[in-house]
Amino acid sequence: MVAAPLRLWRLLGLGRSPLALAVPLVRLGSRSAAPDLAPVSIRSAGQDVPADPVSLERAFPHATDRIVVLLPGADEDESVWQQHLDQVGGTYASRLSSLLDWTPVHLRAASGSGVDVAATLQALVDGWPGDVRRIALVGHGHGGLVLRAACAVRSLTARPWQDLVGDMVLLGTPHLVVPAGRALLPAARAVDEELAGIVTDDLVDADAEPLPGVRCVVVTPHTRLQQSRLGGLVGGLVWWRHRLPLRPRRARALFPSATLHHVPTHEISLANHPDVHQALLAWLE
């Protein structure tokens, strides 16, 4: 649950930042959050964890100086990372914790924007039991877009959490953006958006600047790679099939410096995929 000081930090600290005000809400889904559900929550053992030092030390008694933050996608919670557990034998959180000494922190964004996530992560770092040396971000689906928006928020605090981020891994997150507008065939367009990894610029801030020095990897299913083998070029062509004439048709990269890494899914979700397990251990070593 986001405490009152955290809300005050967001309103006062971020409110003075022009870029923070420019970061739009990233829509996480069509559902409405329950009235008593915080926009963004830190989660541990199925419970919300207040972002204060006492609560964080109780929830993370073996906290290390490396935090891996996992944010699920639209209409998902932290249980999404446990898919195919009987086949895979672990989760990204469990493997990174036991093998590389990362401390996993799950977030749940019921209706939060990038600003809400940024405020929550700042409170997490400020209240963490010990110094934080490094942060890695792992987002699933549109959760990756929310993390992107959070990274673009400029904080006025003396020790911004963004300065600690070294890696961002995005699993099935749309990596191309096109102008929003009316389409001729909305249903077919939606399918092509998913296959090509496209999102519209009314859902994301296409001009948000990436964090300097952060290594970014976008993991896509093989079917998506086939549809966007030439990145923005093919993405733009796929989009054009369902666009009205005279509308802009060029797709832009949301993560221009990212490495695209594709895996064959074979009906195994990217939220807990054996190939991603191996890759994560190499990337976050």
Q: Is the pLDDT of residue 13 over 50?
A: no
More confident of the two residues 97 and 250: 97
CATH 3.40.50 fits 4-283, yes or no: yes
- Residue 33: pLDDT over 80: no
pTM of the predicted model over 0.85: no
Task: Report the pLDDT value the prediction gives residue 15, as an integer from 0 to 100.
Answer: 36
Lowest mean pLDDT among 23-27, 100-104, 253-257, 272-276: 23-27
Q: What is the mean pLDDT of residues 37-49?
A: 91
Which one is predicted more confidently, 184 or 66? 66
| Phi, then psi, of 220 in degrees rounded to 5 | -125, 150
Stretch 103-128: mean pLDDT, rounded?
A: 94
Q: pLDDT class for 68, splitting at 50, 70, 90?
A: very high
Report, as an integer, the average pLDDT of 87-102.
Answer: 95
Q: What is the mean pLDDT of residues 181-188?
A: 52
Per-residue pLDDT, 51: 95
Mean pLDDT of the chain: 80
**pLDDT higher than 80, residue 229:** no
Return the pLDDT at 67: 98
How large is the average pLDDT for residues 213-223? 87
Residue ranges of the domains in the chain?
Answer: 4-283
Least confident interval from 126-130, 222-226, 229-233: 229-233
**Rounded mean pLDDT of 6-25?**
39
pLDDT tops 60 at residue 215: yes
